[in-house]
Amino acid sequence: MSEKTLFQQIADREIPADIVFEDEMCIAFRDINPVAPTHILIVPLKPVPTLNDLEAEDEMLMGHLFLVARKIAEDEGLENGYRTVINCGKEGGQEVYHIHLHLLGGRQMVWPPG
């Protein structure tokens, strides 16, 4: 059996985190190295390594992550806008190989993102 990712350890309460949301499909917590005033990671409880590992059965799960992002953005007072990001693979900037959605807000975002 493969080793648990950092995010799976957080979901399993083996590592502490500032959790802002949780339901039967995902967990959301504040990033420990934020790049914006609001930087929350929304992580499915199902450990899918990257976007490239998604299967048809994950369609509802991925849609759910975005609906959770919308709810959290509202709860966080991000009425002026926010950004969602999913990094994929090394060149995409992915550091933890457990798919996750970044919710960024609280400042003006720039384009291109980097």
Q: Which residues are catalytic?
A: 100
Place of tokens 């953005």: 73
Sequence-ordered list of residues with C-beta below 8 angstroms from that of 29, at least 6 positions apart, any chain: 10, 17, 18, 19, 20, 40, 41, 43
> What amino acid is encoded at 83 in this protein?
R
